[in-house]
Amino acid sequence: TVTQSTRPQRILGAVQQNATRGDPRSVVRAIDQYCRSQEWAMNVGDEKGCILDSVVSEVNPSTVLELGTYCGYSTVRIASLLPPHAKLITLEFNPKFAVIARQVIAWAGLEDKIQLVEGSSGDLIPKLKEQFGVKAFDLVFLDHWKDRYLPDTKLIEECGLLRKGGVLLADNVICPGAPEYLEFVRSSPRYESQYFKSHLEYTKVEDGLEKSVFLG
Ligand SMILES: Nc1ncnc2c1ncn2[C@@H]1O[C@H](Cn2cc(CNC(=O)c3cc([N+](=O)[O-])cc(O)c3O)nn2)[C@@H](O)[C@H]1O
Ligand SMILES: [Mg+2]
Tell which residue, 160, 151, 156, has the closest CA to residue 168: 156
Look at residue 2 in the predicted model and tell me its pLDDT: 79
Q: Is 173 touching ligand 1 by the criterion CB < 6 Å?
A: no
Question: What CA–CA distance (Å, rounded) separates 123 from 99?
Answer: 20
Per-residue pLDDT averaged across 165-188, rounded? 98
Q: Is the dihedral of CA 96, 172, 14, 19 positive or negative?
A: negative
The tally of CA atoms less than 13 A away on the side-chain side of residue 204 is 0
The H or E element that residue 65 is part of is: strand 63-67
144 Cβ closer than 6 Å to some ligand 1 atom: yes
| ipTM score over 0.90, yes or no | yes
pLDDT tens for each residue of 87-115: 999 999 999 999 999 999 999 999 999 99
Percent of the chain at pLDDT > 90 equals: 98
For ligand 2, the distance from its centroid to the CA atom of residue 2, given in whole angstroms, is 31
Distance from Cα 177 to the centre of ligand 2, integer Å: 10
Task: Give the residue, by CA position, lying nearest to ligand 1 atom 36.
Answer: 70
181-201 per-position pLDDT tens digit = 999 999 999 999 999 999 999
Place 3 in a pLDDT band, splitting at 50, 70 and 90: confident
Average of per-residue pLDDT across 123-136: 95
Q: Which residues are registered as beta bridge partners of 115?
A: 89
Cβ neighbour number for residue 75 with a 10 Å cutoff: 29
